[in-house]
Amino acid sequence: DAKTTQPNSMESNEEEPVHLPCNHSTISGTDYIHWYRQLPSQGPEYVIHGLTSNVNNRMASLAIAEDRKSSTLILHRATLRDAAVYYCILSPGNTPLVFGKGTRLSVIA
């Protein structure tokens, strides 16, 4: 499975935008870039996914580099409820997910 590299932790102020980076230099042509997050004491939650083009949904935006070797999850206005571990995962879809350790996001009021 292709690997992703994420910072261990990041910090943001409440109501500020947050950019969570992910490097995936060995991504294959069929891999989608998926983001999940896990709030404390809960199961992971789907956030967004994309293939080549940038994607937006009600939760976040996903910016994908032109060479697809990196991507950034953007939370437009961080709230305290966004404090979680964020996982960047490569998968062709419809397959088991391979989670790394993710990025622990702290949001400061």
Partner 1 sequence: DTGVSQDPRHKITKRGQNVTFRCDPISEHNRLYWYRQTLGQGPEFLTYFQNEAQLEKSRLLSDRFSAERPKGSFSTLEIQRTEQGDSAMYLCASSMRTSGRGYEQYFGPGTRLTVT
C-alpha 45/C-alpha 13 separation (Å) is 22
Q: How many residues bind partner 1 (CB under 8 A)?
A: 21
> 36: helix, coil or strand?
strand
Scanning residues 17 to 46, which ones bind partner 1 (CB under 8 A)? 32, 34, 36, 42-46
Residue 101 CB, shortest distance to partner 1, in Å, is 6
C-alpha 60/C-alpha 97 separation (Å) is 20
Residue 94 CB, shortest distance to partner 1, in Å, is 5
Q: Which is nearer to partner 1, 2 or 98 (CB)?
A: 98
